[in-house]
Amino acid sequence: MKPDYMVIKEKLRHKLGMGRFEHTMGVAYTAACLAMRYGCNAENAELAGLLHDCAKQYDNETLLKKCLKHHIPVSEAERKNPSLLHAKLGEYLARKKYDVDDPDILDAIRYHTTGRPAMSLMEKVIYVADYIEPRRFKAPNLDRIRRLAFVDLDQTICEIMSDTLEYLKKTPESIDPTTYEACMYYQEIKREEY
Ligand code: DGI
Ligand code: FE
Ligand code: FE
């Protein structure tokens, strides 16, 4: 059965707090817009956006416990920074609880926090939508990055990843190798273009 967007939306409204639910809706709509711009399935992008943070309400201890219980492998970086696990557990819940079986949507949820090298278009759309949705206000250069997102998707990814790594440099031990590898990959792609 196809997952019902409106049913999932109402479930999440009650599960996530008000702020996180607003963020979730912002990501869903922004992802649909980016999908229209770049030519991937807008309905799937909206659903991936809706579900990307569906495990975000759990604290670190609960995230670790649930991952253990469901046999979700936890990397060393995730053990040290369990909040990263909301992406992997979110993918699991999307599959098991919300009946999503499209691997494109599931991967976009799974990699939305760290990104990864050679992301699919759907992964890029969710990664970028998560950062630029209208309720976000903390990141630097947001106005420029929001405009850039509709002009050059890879350049946008490159800049978001650089800004994220810059922010994480304050606590270098907290950086997941995947975040670093992804950033290097997109910087290299952009260098090759020039
Ligand atoms: O769940 P959201 O807050 O909407 O967004 P997200 O899933 O992208 O998580 C954002 C946070 O994740 C942001 O503060 C940066 C952080 N992050 C990204 N890569 C890494 C990371 N945190 C750690 N510790 N290590 C990483 O590699
Ligand atoms: Fe998230
Ligand atoms: Fe998010």
- Would you say the CB of residue 112 lies under 6 angstroms from ligand 1? yes
Q: Which of 108-112, 127-131, 188-192 has the lowest mean pLDDT?
A: 188-192
As a whole number, the mean pLDDT across the chain is 97
- Indicate whether residue 176 lines ligand 1 (CB < 6 A): yes
Q: Whose C-alpha lies nearest to ligand 1, atom 5?
A: 113
Among 42, 54, 45, 157, which residue's Cα sits nearest to residue 105? 45
For 106-126, what is the mean pLDDT?
98
**So what's the pLDDT on residue 139?**
87
Give yes or no for residue 194 having a pLDDT over 90. Answer: no
| Of 20, 24, 84, 161, best ligand 1 pocket probe by most atoms within 8 Å of the beta carbon | 84
pLDDT digits (tens, 9 = 90+) for 47-98: 999 999 999 999 999 999 999 999 999 999 999 999 999 999 999 999 999 9
- Burial classification of residue 115, based on how many CB atoms lie within 10 Å of its CB (0-12 exposed, 13-18 middle, 19 or more buried): buried
Cβ 78 under 6 angstroms from ligand 1 = no
Q: Using an 8 Å Cβ cutoff, are 132 and 30 in contact?
A: yes
* Closest C-alpha to ligand 1, atom 6: 113
The closest ligand to the CA of 49 turns out to be: 3
Q: What is the residue type of 75?
A: S
Residue pLDDT, tens place only, 174-184 = 999 999 999 99
Per-residue pLDDT, 92 = 98
Q: Residue 8: name the closest of 45, 47, 41 by CA.
A: 47
Would you state the pLDDT for residue 8?
Answer: 98
Q: Quick: pLDDT tens for 2-53.
A: 889 999 999 999 999 999 999 999 999 999 999 999 999 999 999 999 999 9
Residue nearest to atom 24 of ligand 1 (CA): 174
Neighbours of 99 (CB within 10 A): 13
pLDDT for 191 equals 87
